[in-house]
Copies of this chain bind each other. A is one copy, B any other.
């Protein structure tokens, strides 16, 4: 894709919700901001990583905070822009473009609003290829890229800048500040030059969510199309029979239990912490983070969040291979089941299905 017009945002948001794997925040918040900005400023130019000069830098923008808070505390519309400008100012130069650092969920659409408002291109790439809950959980961390300098802003006009010794400290400080800001903040971070963008991000993310969104929104056989466009596996079809969920410090944590229907036998258990992290069928692991576990409505193929999943829902569960960058030992230490506290070995989903 070369341009993003108002009519494209719907698909992007729908696709982003699928890659949110149950979390990542509600893309509708950013969707409205993006649509308004594009209506006012015109379509957004999409560029590829190869188009970013080595001597310029790209500044990703995002919303940080509890998904549930961010749907209630709607941004005024210019915070993302302000954090972008604040970080530019801090860095002492003009940003060449923005991009999404997290293509799953809300943070696919926030940078669209920024790009449109600043009449600036957006890079067809991201730092996760999905959604993850913490700042350091991006492929640039694996490439030794610092999350900082990072700019944070709230709707009151407060700004906070971080320069930390590693990306775990960035997560720690920014999490506290986000809480002080009322539960969500607009952030700009992981500024990267052309070479860093090419080497350490996941390419083609906007194109990918757009295609996924098309499958959800426009296809007559959305599940089949979803499986094809994501390269995913159909793990299960079932009825939700139980959900144990706790909301602690803005995080959604718990388990959903499904009973098989329409040819699927047994019981599927999904463990989640904001995002779906592990799927077990009758006790046997079928998929784990960083591979994607996506739960969609069986009738509409619309994604269902870990916050929204309820008793009685009839859903399909997809397992989607993550980007190869997530499959090194270092990557599994950063975002694998062990980091989230599960005593489960990561095995690529393709191998589990061999």
Binding site for B on A (CB under 8 A): 156-165, 169, 172-173, 176-177, 179-180
Contact with A177, one of B156, B157, B159, B176 (Cβ below 8 angstroms): B176
Name the residue in A157, A160, A165, A169 with the highest tally of chain B Cβ atoms < 10 Å from its Cβ.
A160
Whether the Cβ atoms of A160 and B158 lie closer than 8 Å is no
Q: Which residues of B contact A165 (CB under 8 A)?
A: 156-158
* Interchain CA distance A89-B176 in the complex, whole Å: 25
Nearest B residue (CB) for A170? B158
Q: Identify 10 residue pairs between A and B in the complex whose beta-carbon atoms are under 8 Å apart, listed by A's number.
A: A156-B169, A157-B165, A158-B162, A158-B163, A158-B164, A158-B173, A159-B164, A161-B162, A173-B180, A176-B180
* Interchain CA distance A162-B160 in the complex, whole Å: 5
Known: A176-B177, A176-B179, A179-B176. A159 touches B169 (CB 8 A): no
Whether the Cβ atoms of A161 and B160 lie closer than 8 Å is yes
- Shortest CB distance A63–B (Å): 18
Report how many copies the assembly holds: 2
- Shortest CB distance A88–B (Å): 15
* Interchain CA distance A295-B168 in the complex, whole Å: 44
* Interchain CA distance A163-B153 in the complex, whole Å: 9
Contact with A173, one of B160, B169, B172 (Cβ below 8 angstroms): B160
Q: Is the interface of A mostly helix, strand, loop or mixed?
A: mixed
- Shortest CB distance A79–B (Å): 13
* Interchain CA distance A158-B160 in the complex, whole Å: 13
Q: Which residues of B contact A158 (CB under 8 A)?
A: 162-165, 169, 173
- Shortest CB distance A327–B (Å): 31
Nearest B residue (CB) for A163? B159
Contact with A160, one of B156, B160, B180 (Cβ below 8 angstroms): B160
Q: Which residues of B contact A162 (CB under 8 A)?
A: 158-161
* Interchain CA distance A165-B157 in the complex, whole Å: 6
Nearest B residue (CB) for A164? B158
Nearest B residue (CB) for A157? B165
Q: Which residues of B contact A176 (CB under 8 A)?
A: 176-177, 179-180
* Interchain CA distance A156-B168 in the complex, whole Å: 13
* Interchain CA distance A161-B157 in the complex, whole Å: 14
- Shortest CB distance A188–B (Å): 14
* Interchain CA distance A156-B162 in the complex, whole Å: 14
* Interchain CA distance A169-B177 in the complex, whole Å: 11
- Shortest CB distance A90–B (Å): 8
Whether the Cβ atoms of B177 and A173 lie closer than 8 Å is yes
* Interchain CA distance A163-B83 in the complex, whole Å: 12
- Shortest CB distance A278–B (Å): 29
**What 13 additional pairs, Cβ within 8 angstroms, besides A158-B173, A177-B177?**
A156-B165, A158-B162, A158-B164, A160-B160, A160-B162, A160-B163, A160-B173, A161-B161, A161-B163, A176-B176, A176-B177, A176-B179, A176-B180
* Interchain CA distance A188-B271 in the complex, whole Å: 45
